[in-house]
Each structure stands twice: as C-alpha cells, then as structure tokens.
Structure 1
Amino acid sequence: MTSFAPDSIVLNRKLPLWYQVSQSLRASILGRPRDAPLRLPTEEQLAVHYGVSVLTMRQALKELEDEGLISRHRRRGTFIEPDARRGAPVRLLGSVDAIVAQQSGMVTELLGHGAVPVPAEFAEHFAGVGEVVAYHRVRSDEGTGEPTNHARNFVRTEVAAGIAPGDLERWPMTKVLRDVVGVEIGRITDTVQARLADPETARLLRVPLLSPILHYTGVTYGVDGRVLDVAVIHYRGDRFSFSVTVEAT
C-alpha cells in the first residue's frame, strides 16, 4: 500500500522539535490532495524524513491523534482520518513554518482587496504611512464547506505590490509574504481575545448574532523591525480553542 508523503521543513532548534514536526505534518495532511493515500509512513520512516528521534516523532503523532486527524492501529499502521474535523486549537508558539501550518488546509475565498487608509487602531504600526492594501478572505472547511473564520490583512503598500490576488486563495498570507514576495520575516506577535460575533461576522461565519468567537490579531515584522502586515481573524468559537504551550526550560 502506498503511503502518504509529507512535506519537509527546516527545524528551528530553539523550539520543541515535536511541536514543529506535528505542525508541519498537520499542514501536509490538511492540504493533501483528495486522492492522496491515507496511510502514513512508519514512525521510523517519518523520524528519518524529519531528522528527529523516534521518541520525538511519537510525541508529534500523539498530538495529531489527540486532535483527531490520525488514528493509530497496532500492526496495521497509522492512518489519516478521512472525515477528520478541520477545526483546531489556535496556538501561540512556533516558527514561521508552524504559523503557516496553522493557516493551512482550508478553502479560501478572496472577498475583496484594495487600498484603504490606515485603520486608526493600527496607526502605531504604520507610522508615517497614509495607505495600506487591505485583503478580506473567508476560509471554509474543505470537506463540509462550512465557514470557519474570516480574515482581514492590512499590508504595507510596497509589499503588497508583489502579491497577486490568486496567491491568497492558494496560500496563507505568511507563506505569500515569505515565499512569493520574498520578504524576510523577523517575528510575528499574536494576540487572542474572546468576543461576541457582530452582524458581519455572524453572517459570514453562519452563526447566531452574539455567538462566542476568537478574535485574533497578528502583527508581522520584517527583520528590519518594520511592520509588514497586520492580520485580524475571527474564528468560530465552536470550531477553535485557544492553546498556549509554556516550556519550563
């Protein structure tokens, strides 16, 4: 039986290896073609693929099993759950690859884009800048078509010049900035708040007005310290949870 082939990543030794591996494998699973094999390679094969120990690989697989993305069967192997729920925790730990993984595996519709004045609440991030380019998208579960979140990105104009609208229907903004535009990302600062769905969010996510949602703001900085992008994402409260990992060492 042919096994599913995950993507490769460059691991950051300053972050937990199991976490980076689990997020990379998660992105590969959620972004897989519909006709991809459901069987994963063995723990040993995956460990070699990612360049980690079998123990680290086992911990990464347990994370995905707990999330319901895979099932593990003694003697038979490890399999992708074909109907696995695509919702997942919003995590505030990781490399850029982990952020990309968090945003992957959904169908994205670009609702609109164009130049707008810098929103007052983000003026401090775009000092001396009059306009930014705004992108508005809705992401939906690939299997059910159910909307899971809607996002607005406010991107520095000179950076947005390198973005084609179709790019954002295929890839997360973080990947587009890094791999398409070619900017060097220094860091991403995340904030998550609990809020109630306003009329627009309720309509786009097909939830009752004042339903609980997770309001995420992500600020992406270049290596020179400039803000490249501010993302505002509203996640359905019944599809996502908030998770933070704190390392003791």
Structure 2
Amino acid sequence: MTLFAPDSVELNRKLPLWYQVSQSLRASILGRPPEAPLRLPTEESLAEHYGVSVLTMRQALKELETEGLISRHRRRGTFIEPEARRGRPVRVLGSVDAIVAQQSGEDTTLLGHGPVPVPPELAEYFPGLREAVSFRRLRRDRTSGEPTNWAENLIHPEIAGRVAPDALRRMPMTKVLRDEAGVRISRITDTVEARLADPETARLLDVPLLSPILHYTGVTFDERGRAVDVARIHYRGDRFSFSVTVENISDVSDH
C-alpha cells in the first residue's frame, strides 16, 4: 500500500476529507515508480489507512476516476490507468528571453527559502538527491495589488548557493539563474494544466477552495542536460489564460 499512499497521513478535519484523500492518492499515483503495480488496494483497506469512512473513500476515488487516473471494475477492483503517470503535454517553442518577459511585470514577495525533500513526483529531475532548495514567492498585480500567482522553485543544491533571495524580488528566477548565477541554460520545458485550488493555494491567492486554477510546471536544464530548476506556479484562473500560436500548419491533418 505504501506505493500509493504515504505511511502516515494527517487530515485536516476542517476541510473536505474526500478532497484531501483524493489529492494524496493523486500525488502518489503520478509519482509512483515505473515498476509499481497498477492495482490499488481495496476501498476498505484504503479507508482504514486514511482513517475515513468507505463512503468518503468512494467519493475520493470517483474524483480520480473522473480525472482519468483510475478505472473501477466491479468484482475486479480499482486500477491505475497505464498512461496516468503524466498527461500528454502541450509543447511550446520559444526563447529564454520570451519566458523571462512573461515572468516579469509584477510585484513579488519572497515567502521563504530553504532545503526541502524532493517530492516523489519530481524525483526524476533530481536523480540521486534527497533534497533540493525551495524558493517560494507570491506575485501581485502592480495596479490592483491583488495576488495573481504563487510560485515554488526547486533548485539543484549545487546551484542554489548562487541564487540571492533578494534578487528574486527584482527579477524572475530564469533571469537570476542566467544573469546572476551564471547558469548556461540549454532549454526549458513547460507544461500547463487545469487544477482545483488546494488549501494553501486558496489562501495565498485569495480564492475559494477548489476553485479552478492554472498549474504551470517549468523545468530548466543547463548545458550538461541537468535539471537545475523545477518551477511550479499556481495562477488564478480568473486572471490568466493560455495561448499558443502555431505557424506553418499546412501539414496538420486534424485539430
């Protein structure tokens, strides 16, 4: 069972239990090792592990089924969908300068920084490392003062010592890495997906719990092909949209 759920789970009784359980299982499913079995434990076993009722567990599993992460079969059990490790990403080609420009133009508050355990779902980007250095920031619109997004960057320990926290109040992390820390950036991969606001995101962005947000993951690689930064940014759904321009589409067969 430890492949799919942490050994110890503390639930906040003031928040919907089904939501907390579904998010915990979701993270475990997406971060599971390739050799992990696809069959989940029974509803009763999972309910006992999380300390919730079977009815609550069924509601959590229903949420994961709606997302397409699992499938449930009568008498056979509940199974992780083989393609559930990660969705097919939308890839956008552009320059590092374009990404820096997109990250600029807002007031930034540094929420904190320091070493943290590497999350299981990001372990592939930090092979052999148990810890990375986290930098957390909250951005606000300069005109209205409203929060627009909050970001956490996980930086490779060898690079983190060259990142000055105060610099992040003046410029985005990509620019700090390139211009201040001397990282020769070779590429950045971006993934954007829709999610529901968890308790921390709802508090920081001043939105209702479970309201829609845009979740961005950006992985920055240096010239050696090593991931030096994994950025996870949570955008308010009512303040941002995602636009992609595709050129030379004469060979595209469907849309």
Secondary structure of 1:149's aligned partner: strand
Aligned counterpart, 1:188: 188
Aligned counterpart, 1:155: 155
Aligned counterpart, 2:107: 107
Percent identity (aligned): 69
Larger Rg: 2
Aligned ranges 1:157-236 → 2 under 5 Å:
157-236=157-236
Aligned ranges 1:42-61 → 2 under 5 Å:
none
- Unpaired runs of 5+ residues, structure 2, are 1-90, 250-255
Letter in 1 for 2:222: G
- Unpaired runs of 5+ residues, structure 1, are 1-90
Aligned counterpart, 1:139: 139
* 4+ residue segments displaced more than 2 Å: none
Aligned counterpart, 1:245: 245
Letter in 1 for 2:212: P
Question: In 2, are the aligned partners of 1:93 and 1:244 still within 8 Å (CA)?
Answer: no
The CA deviation string for residues 122-170 of structure 1, in whole angstroms up to 9 with x for no partner, is 1001001121100111000011110000000000011011011101111
Give the drift of 1:245.
1.6
Secondary structure of 1:243's aligned partner: coil
Secondary structure of 2:180's aligned partner: helix
Secondary structure of 2:165's aligned partner: coil
Q: Tell me the number of residue pairs that the alignment of Structure 1 and Structure 2 aligns.
A: 159
Q: For the residues of structure 2 that align with 1:134 and 1:96, how far apart are their CA atoms?
A: 22
Secondary structure of 2:210's aligned partner: coil
Q: For the residues of structure 2 that align with 1:93 and 1:144, how far apart are their CA atoms?
A: 32
Question: In 2, are the aligned partners of 1:218 and 1:232 still within 8 Å (CA)?
Answer: yes
Give the drift of 1:117.
1.5
Q: For the residues of structure 2 that align with 1:95 and 1:209, how far apart are their CA atoms?
A: 35
Give the drift of 1:92.
3.9
Give the drift of 1:187.
0.3
Letter in 2 for 1:106: E
TM-score (norm 1): 0.62
Q: For the residues of structure 2 that align with 1:134 and 1:148, how far apart are their CA atoms?
A: 20
Letter in 2 for 1:96: V
The CA deviation string for residues 150-202 of structure 1, in whole angstroms up to 9 with x for no partner, is 00000001101101110111110000000000110000000000011111111
Aligned ranges 1:110-121 → 2 under 5 Å:
110-121=110-121
Indicate the RMSD between aligned Cα atoms, in angstroms: 1.3
Question: In 2, are the aligned partners of 1:141 and 1:147 still within 8 Å (CA)?
Answer: yes
Aligned counterpart, 2:122: 122
